[in-house]
């Protein structure tokens, strides 16, 4: 168990709802859910969720901490916002799902091998390095996420797509050495660092 996770378990004991309200983005909305299920029925990847949003909300109230935070479910969110606009109680469901995924990741108990978690990590690293997305680095990084051999295989599968993008001028062939840079990249990194410090302090992740 990671230290932060341990500290959180001790701090909130059996009150998982309270933990979510205090630490998860928009988490104070969770108690407003009336279990109608429109969110679950509206999700484009609904079938892929082990526990759809409606179920997650009930599980939070039932104190199923591990089952929720270790779940792959929230990582299936495509950010389509269908659940948000359809929720009769106007819960910001998309953001709550993002928030739960982020929290589980932050305290180190999110599913390690979940591809979206790993891709999201690479994405954030990519954009905060130079301030803008470097698309070639991002895709190459994604293909080689599971090592060299599988990277070559995935790269070959994606080759027709890559060549199509290259031929139409939509991929920078020199992307591995250039691209995606703001002049203020240094400032951006400094600001992100500070923002993380403030957020961590607020949420009690640091002493």
Q: Which chain residues interact with another protein by CB under 8 A?
A: 25, 44-45, 48, 76, 78-82, 84-86, 94, 98-99, 101-102, 105-106, 115-121, 123-125, 127-128, 131-133, 135, 139, 142, 157, 160-161, 164-165, 167-173, 175, 179-180, 182-184, 187-188, 190-192, 194-196, 198-199
DSSP 147-179: -HHHHHHHHHHHHHHHHHHHHTT-S-TTTTTS-
Helix or strand run (H / E) with residue 134: none
Q: Quote the CA–CA distance of 8 and 95 in Å, as a whole number.
A: 21
Cα–Cα distance measured from residue 98 to residue 94, given in angstroms and rounded to the nearest whole number: 6
Q: For another protein, which is the closer residue by CB, 58 or 185? A: 185
Beta carbon nearer to another protein, 153 or 190: 190
- If the CB atoms of residues 33 and 77 are measured against another protein, the closer one turns out to be 77
The single residue listed with the structure tokens 């792959």 is 72
Q: Which is nearer to another protein, 60 or 76 (CB)?
A: 76
Give least dist CB 165 to another protein, A.
7
Least Cβ distance, residue 174 to another protein (angstroms): 8
Within its chain, how far is the Cα of 56 from the centroid?
Answer: 16
CA distance 192 to 78: 24
**Least CB distance from residue 62 to another protein, whole Å?**
25
Q: Report the distance separating Cα 165 and Cα 51, nearest Å.
A: 37
The torsion region of residue 201 among left (phi > 0), alpha (psi -120 to 50) and beta comes to alpha
Nearer Cβ to another protein (54/139): 139
The distance of closest approach from Cβ of residue 31 to another protein in the complex, given in angstroms and rounded to an integer, is: 20
Nearest approach in angstroms of CB 14 to another protein is 26
């Amino acid at each position: 168990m990671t230290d932060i996770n341990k500290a959180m378990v001790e701090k909130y004991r059996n009150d998982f709802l309270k933990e979510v309200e205090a630490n998860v983005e928009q988490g104070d909305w969770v108690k407003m859910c009336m279990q109608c299920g429109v969110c679950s029925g509206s999700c484009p990847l609904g079938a892929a969720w082990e526990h759809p949003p409606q179920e997650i909300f009930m599980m939070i109230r039932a104190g199923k901490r591990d089952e929720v935070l270790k779940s792959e479910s929230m990582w299936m969110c495509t950010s389509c916002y269908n659940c948000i606009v359809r929720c009769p109680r106007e819960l910001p469901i998309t953001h709550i799902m993002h928030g739960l995924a982020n929290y589980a990741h932050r305290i180190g108990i999110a599913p390690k091998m979940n591809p979206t978690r790993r891709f999201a990590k690479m994405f954030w690293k990519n954009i905060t390095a130079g301030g803008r997305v470097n698309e070639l680095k991002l895709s190459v990084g994604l293909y080689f996420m599971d090592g060299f051999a599988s990277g070559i295989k995935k790269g070959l599968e994606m080759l027709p797509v890559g060549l199509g993008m290259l031929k139409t001028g939509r991929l920078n062939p020199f992307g591995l050495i250039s691209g995606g840079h703001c002049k203020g990249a240094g400032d951006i990194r400094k600001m992100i660092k500070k923002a993380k410090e403030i957020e961590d302090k607020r949420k009690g992740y640091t002493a």
